[in-house]
Amino acid sequence: MGLTSAQKDILDKAVSALHTRGFHAQYPEHPSPAIYGETADADGKEAFKALRKKNFDELGQEGASAWIGEEESPYFQAPLGPKYPSFSTEELIARAEKGFHSWRKVALDDRAAVLIDSLERFSKRFFENAYATMHTTGQGYMMAFQASGPHAADRALEAIAAGYDELNRFPSHTQWEKPMGKYNLLVNKEWRAVPKGIGLVIGCSTFPTWNSVPGVYASLITGNSVLVKPHPGAILPMAIVVAEIRNALREAGFNPDACQLAVDVPSNPIALTLAKHPKVKLIDFTGNSAFGSVLEALPKAVFTEKTGVNSIILDSVEDLDKVIQNITFSVALYSGQMCTAPQNFFIPAEGVKTPDGMVSFDEVAQKFADFTNGLVDNPKAGPFVLGAIQNPMTCDRAVNAAKELGGKVWLETRTIVNPIFDTTRTQTPVVIELTSADKDKFSKELFGPIALLIKTKNTEESVALAKELAETHGAISCGAYTTDAAMKEHIADEMSLAATPVSFNLTGQIFVNQNAAFSDYHVTGGNPAGNASFTNPDYVNRRFTWVGIRELA
């Protein structure tokens, strides 16, 4: 079989991008008719509508004991519709075990060819998947298209490339020769990259494909089989991906059970049962810290992305309005339901330095509230930037934040009307002022549209607090604004010690929320926000073991 010339070109460019860390995107991120076809959007919408009316039978996972599914659209606030095949834990494991012993013997180039083929198949369904993502997560259309389609596919390709690169790092054979005086000792040596076994990928409700496909493809490229267990509130986006992986496996003549969809409903969860099964050797998880910590304690190779407390440090700026515009957009984007969204904004009590002099804390806070309102009330932007709230508990958290946290409220949360779906579940950002003495209130993740403006003694205290929170509670992102070179280095050094990446002085159309495949490591694995990183060598190397075999020549 092997790689076709087109597949080899895709893979070579991806491996090169891993090493150069420059911009690389195999799949265009804009839903342009010129790229994807004049009718691609309309066709994708119709395909999504068709999926809502029937059981999702594309997987070819025969013999289901039942068909289940309880997804609800945050836009309709009504059931989504599809049902998925359900199996007992033992049946899933038995099939995955057979799939593993077939897939592990497949040559690396053949594995890479099948997986790249699956991504090419998936790329034909980006629009369909965008609507599936919208109506499970609440993301706006553009984010749903980009994050669940091209960006997810690029992250998957990154994992393929990383695995391929690591598996080719060392020779598989050599003749070892040691001088022994009158003769040389000759030994034929072979090294096998032996996969661990069955992998389990546990997805989240807000970014069902972007957060899941790296683990799926990292395990598959290294020869493991995979059980994909999506969040019960966001199954459809990953069901589409798994269907195309299985189609690619089947067409290439391999056992499609190397990758299976494992679904559940909230009243009968199966994630922990699967995770604890002795045949499951690898676990990828995105979600809350409590469950993530339970998984990390298991005697397995576990890769987690959990919760964190992300900070923005304001010290000095060139243009305050551009800065406020940027950071308020980061808060409003998808209503703060991103693991990289900023929560704590540390601002010195004396204010922020600008070329025109010091701007007081209160002036900064008022600008923050005004710019947030300006975005929210813009009928052409607000509803589509905010999207919908995936979980009603997130709405409750924002509504109750002022009462529970205290402090001065600079901006109340409210609902707005989505012009396309008038039943959309919405909640605009709430902006609350606290002080550095309120550490017990701002030292935990408050998931959703909540912005805390924290008054500190000075920037040094801001940095110390941001570092402490990252070290003790975890952080996935950090933004900082300073025009002082010494302060910039101080922030970079301190946050690096807390294993937290820093984005300096972002304005315009680049935001602290964003991470680019092939260039940005997503989560460092060095603080409590997670123990793994998309995608460093450790992310793939822990999925297989080098085993040596020797024989006298």
CA 267 to the chain's CA centroid: 25
Share of the chain above pLDDT 70, in %: 100
CA 42-236-87 angle, 5° bins: 145
Which residues are registered as beta bridge partners of 522?
A: 534
pLDDT over 90 (residue 29): yes
Provide mean pLDDT across the span 417-431: 97
**Same domain? 276 vs 332:** no
Secondary structure (3-state) at 305: strand
Question: What's the whole-number average pLDDT of the chain?
Answer: 97
**434 by DSSP, 3-state: which?**
strand
Q: What is the pTM of this model?
A: 0.96
Please tell me the distance from the alpha carbon of residue 280 to that of residue 398, in angstroms, as a whole number. 38
Tokens 């494991």 -> residue: 93
- Per-residue tokens: 218: 């990292």
**Residue 544 resides in a domain:** no
Same domain, 336 and 452: yes
Question: Which residue type is seen at 228?
Answer: V
pLDDT at 270: 98
Alpha-carbon distance 501 to 475, whole Å?
9
Do residues 276 and 350 both lie within one domain? no
Q: What would the two tokens of residue 460 be?
A: 């040094």
- Note whether residue 352 is domain-resident: yes
Per-residue pLDDT of 163-173, as tens digits, reads 999 999 999 99
- Mean per-residue pLDDT for 349-356? 97
Query: Tens digits of per-residue pLDDT, 258-287?
Result: 999 999 999 999 999 999 999 999 999 999
Among candidate residues 221, 280, 230, the one with its CA nearest the CA of residue 97: 280
Neighbouring CB atoms inside 10 A of 492's CB total 15
Is the pLDDT score of 33 beyond 90?
Answer: no
One domain for residues 199 and 283? yes
Separation CA 406–CA 386 (nearest Å): 25
Instruction: Say if residues 197 and 208 touch (Cβ distance below 8 Å).
Output: no
Residues with Cβ within 8 Å of 74's Cβ and at least 6 positions away in sequence, in order, are 135, 137, 138, 388, 389, 390, 424, 425
Residues 188 and 201 in one domain: yes
* Whether the Cβ atoms of residue 7 and residue 117 lie closer than 8 Å to each other: yes
Q: Judge contact between 224 and 198, C-beta under 8 A.
A: yes
**Which domain, by its residues, includes 263?**
17-306
Report the alpha-carbon distance of residue 522 to residue 532 in Å, rounded. 9
Q: Which residue in 544, 467, 547 sits closest to 163, CA to CA?
A: 544
In the prediction, which pLDDT does 179 show?
Answer: 94
Whole-angstrom Cα distance, residue 518 to residue 223? Answer: 22
Give residue 68's pLDDT: 98
The Cα 344–Cα 354 span in angstroms is 21
Residue ending a domain, among 466, 484, 504, is 504
22, 114: one domain: yes
**Statement to judge: residues 246 and 332 lie in one domain:** no
Q: CA 224, CA 538: separation in Å to the nearest integer? A: 16
Angle between helices 108-123 and 213-221 (to 10 degrees): 150
Q: Do the domain assignments include residue 196? A: yes
Geometric angle at alpha carbon 371, from 367 and 377, rounded to 5°: 145
Strand segments (E) across 130-268: 173-179, 184-195, 198-202, 225-229, 259-261
Instruction: Report the candidate in 297, 394, 266 with the shortest Cα–Cα distance to residue 337.
Output: 394
Nearest-CA neighbor of 346 among 442, 430, 411, 471?
442
Using only C-alpha atoms, the chain has a radius of gyration, in whole angstroms, of 25
CA dist., res. 321 & res. 440, Å (int)? 31
| End-to-end CA separation in angstroms for the chain | 31
Residues 294 and 357 reside in one and the same domain: no
Q: Please, how many CA atoms are within 13 Å of residue 218, restricted to the half-sphere of its CB?
A: 32
Q: Is residue 108 part of a domain?
A: yes
d(Cα 339, Cα 212) in Å, to the nearest integer? 14
pLDDT digits (tens, 9 = 90+) for 188-202: 999 999 999 999 999
Q: What angle do CA 110, 112, 113 make, to 5 degrees?
A: 65
Please indicate, yes or no, if residue 8 is contained in any of the structural domains.
Answer: no
Give the per-residue pLDDT at 1.
82
Last residue within a domain, chosen from 486, 504, 522:
504
Interatomic CA distance for residues 425 and 447, integer angstroms: 16
Same domain, 274 and 367: no
Provide the domain count of the chain. 2
Q: Please identify which residue in the block is written with the tokens 């801001």.
A: 462
481 domain-assigned: yes
**Taking the CA of residue 14 as centre, how many other CA atoms within 13 Å lie in the half-sphere pointing to its CB?**
25
The percent helix, strand, coil of the chain (3-state, each to 5) is 40, 20, 40
CATH number at residue 109: 3.40.605.10
| 92 three-class SS | helix
- Cα torsion through 502, 444, 509, 494, rounded to 10: -10
Q: Residue 522 domain-assigned?
A: no
Indicate whether 135 and 220 sit together in one domain. Answer: yes
Taking Cα atoms as reference points, which of 517, 520, 344, 335 lies closest to residue 436? 344
Cis peptide before 535 (omega within 30 of 0): yes
Q: What is the maximum span of the chain, computed from C-alpha positions, in angstroms?
A: 89
- Residue 386 pLDDT level (bands cut at 50, 70, 90): very high
Domain boundary among 249, 278, 306: 306
Residue 335 gets the label, from left (phi > 0), alpha (psi -120 to 50) or beta, of left
Bridge partner residues of 478 (DSSP): 311
Residue 158's pLDDT is 98
Read off the pLDDT of each residue in 137-156 and give the average, rounded to a whole number. Answer: 97
What's phi and psi for 430, nearest 5 deg? -105, 135
In this structure, are 354 and 207 located in the same domain?
Answer: no
Q: pLDDT band for position 312 (50/70/90)?
A: very high
Which structure tokens are listed for 365?
């806070």
Write down the pLDDT at residue 34. 86
> Is residue 418 assigned to a domain?
yes
Same domain, 249 and 351: no
